[in-house]
Structure 1
């Protein structure tokens, strides 16, 4: 995570004089950094949690990629979920490069990886939220204009939208590369954000990320789902919101995981919060919570697909297929029923 690569300048790290470790007369540094993570309960706990997130996220998303990419028929819905799984899989693959330096309290992977890890974190965040926005708009259009959607909603167009979402996510993630630097401090290298080009660059970037990666997408998604609920209830074409439960769970998980992180990043940008003990602790905890979103998605695919009793009777592969295919089948039935109703209405006119 972004903060796991940083080291708070306000934290008092333990250092040992090298004069005690080397014989007299040898040229040695003045101080030698002594990691304290193994003696801190919070650091050890977060390292274990992030290790679990890596294992679950890497394996879970790999399974979703295999099922949706190679075992299922290619549809608009599988295109959406495959793209989300790829985003989370790549992020989880890079996560160990954040866990190790957080435990060692030293960056050992070089300048390129310092920039690359931060870039991958924000690429995952922005690509996920942009894809969720596209899916929400797609659901809304399918409900509002069922006949048009049935004719125009194709896998090729969905793939084009996915590529555009990734390109936009790539563009807005570039600042994480520009401001990420490796600096040498007190006998060890650290990977930090160096906001030195402009007086307010830190605040500008934090606010921009909050607006583009949270506020604006949240407003669009809420509007889309409000329209969907009103339309479905007014037409009385469904007695529940079951077709949208997987998507709703994915969106809820994303915002629950990422909102606390954005709050603390905005607090960090305000100089008045520096020196408070809650800031470094909050950044560490919320960074791990944000990372958890990458393994929650495949879990939701499995446990939101079928009724509880049938989950234990089907294989894991069947669960995932049913979870991702259920929305497509229900949406198709809704589109077909809407088309027939429109046709009957036109004959009366």
Structure 2
């Protein structure tokens, strides 16, 4: 999940480096305060947090860790890497772990939303088992585990006479192929397949939801999924192209050269969009919270998270109560008819 490799500075394309620095700077200015606001709002103003809100909290924390490294990346792109190879490996390792964790968190949010809408009583069991902390521990552990190859391959040596924390040094084509497949399958294809299945099944249900707040929270999470797909797809298309080049074997063939040219062309856009993905979620929350604003003291985003908590598994679920009440009424009516007979 190394986005840094996508931001390679080129002596032939100084304008690209400038644009990269501008995009990363804007991502930092928008995303870092935005994610800090999300974390502060949830911790201070949402006392009874549903599982969905807890996952949003962890997602904001993972994105914030990625974004606070951007000033170092901007300096490195504008000049060169001056912090040593150990710091380079450690920083890229943490970034990759957080990005893996972000993908896993988004997937878990979608699965939870699917279960909450389609199988509401299973959500009650999920709440009673108090399994969220264990799942989160496993999720973060997996993110760090899958990032271990970074420690083995990340290097600070460059081919332009300067030191940059932007390169991978693979010992063989096989090692590169395994790393690319691991990153693309675990970090994109598998999660994205789960997301498509979940929201494909929910598509017909969203407009039929009885509670406006639950419908709003489901649409919000769907928008996070769409943003994830848009931001990460170019990066993994580049990975797939690299895998195809390795599979061809002859790096000097016309097909391999054309594929490499295509990959180099999209590297700039792909790298920028990866970092944008960490700053876009707070913007989505703000748009979703506009209709919840009632006063300056009770801001829209506070009320948004409160509504998500009140309509999600983990705290008092009004939809489950509604279903239970409806089934209870049906049972009473059936019993009354039996007594009359």
Aligned equivalent of 1:326: 307
Match 1:208 to one of 182, 199, 205:
182
Deviates more, 1:80-89 or 1:208-217: 208-217
Aligned equivalent of 1:131: 105
Structure 1's 339 and 232: CA in aligned 2 closer, same or farther, altered over 3 A?
Answer: farther
Q: How many residues align?
A: 315
Aligned equivalent of 1:26: none
Shift of 1:227: 2.9
Shift of 1:254: 0.8
Aligned equivalent of 1:343: 328
SS in 2 for 1:109: coil
In 2, Cα distance between the equivalents of 1:226 and 1:298?
A: 25
Shift of 1:224: 1.9
Matches within 5 A, 1:259-278: 259-269=233-243, 270=245, 271=251, 272-273=256-257, 276-278=260-262
Deviates more, 1:237-246 or 1:297-306: 237-246
Shift of 1:184: 6.2
In 2, Cα distance between the equivalents of 1:55 and 1:246?
A: 23
Q: Which has the higher contact order (CA 8 A, sep 6+)?
A: 2
In 2, Cα distance between the equivalents of 1:130 and 1:138?
A: 12
Aligned equivalent of 2:222: 248
In 1, Cα distance between the equivalents of 2:209 and 2:91?
A: 48
Q: Which structure's residues are more often helix, by fraction?
A: 2
1:15-47: CA deviation from partner (whole Å, max 9, x where unpaired): xxxxxxxxxxxxxxxxxxxxx77xx32221121
In 1, Cα distance between the equivalents of 2:289 and 2:135?
A: 25
In 2, Cα distance between the equivalents of 1:135 and 1:195?
A: 35
SS in 1 for 2:155: strand
Matches within 5 A, 1:1-349: 1-3=3-5, 6=8, 13=11, 40-75=14-49, 76-104=51-79, 106-150=80-124, 152-153=126-127, 156-183=130-157, 187-191=161-165, 192-196=167-171, 198-230=172-204, 237=210, 241-269=215-243, 270=245, 271=251, 272-273=256-257, 276-307=260-291, 314-315=295-296, 318-331=299-312, 332-347=317-332, 348=334
Deviates more, 1:133-142 or 1:47-56: 133-142
Q: Which structure's residues are more often strand, by fraction?
A: 1
**TM-score by structure 2 length?**
0.82
In 2, Cα distance between the equivalents of 1:122 and 1:337?
A: 42
SS in 2 for 1:67: helix
Aligned equivalent of 1:33: none
In 2, Cα distance between the equivalents of 1:122 and 1:273?
A: 29
CA-based RMSD of the aligned residues comes to 2.8
**TM-score by structure 1 length?**
0.80
* Native 8 Å contact 2:65 2:95 kept in 1: no
1:298-345: CA deviation from partner (whole Å, max 9, x where unpaired): 1111111243xx65x644971221222233333422111112223234
Shift of 1:276: 4.8
Structure 1's 345 and 148: CA in aligned 2 closer, same or farther, altered over 3 A?
Answer: farther
Unaligned runs of 5+ in 1: 14-35
* Native 8 Å contact 1:46 1:288 kept in 2: yes
* Native 8 Å contact 1:126 1:169 kept in 2: yes
Unaligned runs of 5+ in 2: 246-250, 336-341
